[in-house]
Structure 1
């Protein structure tokens, strides 16, 4: 006879991790619907956004900068950037001072696709989170605090 499995939470809906996982899956499904027509995955979109934000601050954005900005694994970022380069959304050039690094830049095609994606994703976000109403700012603040707190532990 097997031992009964015990949980800290009485039911799944009491677990913040379970709820976050469920919400994340639903949100990702929504974003997939708006990004598929643009030939982008959510990860590709997130890395293009990171590149665009960083490019506003520096003309020498590297793969490591993008990984750090997006809290993503460096090897995964490398693979995704290769795919984006194959799609002609970005280019890679030698870094002016670090021979091991490459600078990453959006192409004109990448800028056009990213702008369309941003409009689609921001619209999808507003629709998805509409149920929060006036609590949206508090929700965003709480999630940002959790990200900051847990980044310190990594």
Structure 2
């Protein structure tokens, strides 16, 4: 896992992303694709990542202008997340990079294993 993450981070670095940041952008994009609303807690449940880690990554993505956060009118303790226009554009650039890398990496691992 660490080798995969290290190599993927190297590919995502020129796009200004890390693997965990990409993962959260991708999950946010996927879960909101039909105008559904998603919270940080929902992303934590979906990914299995620690809520505090999600919170830190989302704060960075918000600071970088890639996600937008607003208070959930149904639950004032929760934040609703959505991709910004820049976040969607960055995800569209990163997605084929990650897909090609995963295909090559796991194909190589399967052939060696």
TM-score of the superposed pair, with normalisation by structure 2: 0.90
1:123 lines up with 2:100 in the alignment: yes
TM-score normalised according to structure 1 size: 0.67
Partner of 1:36: 13
Highest CA radius of gyration, 1 or 2?
Answer: 1
Distance 1:49 1:74 in 2: 17
SS of equivalent to 2:69: strand
The count of residues paired between Structure 1 and Structure 2 equals 110
* Structure 2 residue 17 is matched with structure 1 residue 26: no
1:89 aligns with 66
Q: Secondary structure at the residue paired with 2:29?
A: helix
1:80 counterpart residue number: 57
Greater fraction of residues in strand: 2
String of CA shifts for 1:111-143, please: whole Å, max 9, x gaps: 01011111101011111122336xxxxxxxxxx
Q: Per-residue deviation at 1:57?
A: 4.8
1:28-81 CA-to-partner distances (Å, cap 9, x unmatched) read 122012100011111111111111111125532100001111110001111110
Offset, 1:102: 1.3
Larger relative contact order, structure 1 or 2 (CA cutoff 8 Å, min sep 6): 2
- SS for the counterpart of 1:101 is strand
The answer to whether the Cα contact below 8 Å between 1:60 and 1:95 also exists between their aligned partners in 2 is no
Counterpart among 38, 42, 57 of residue 61 in structure 1: 38
Structure 2: which 5+ residue stretches go unaligned?
none
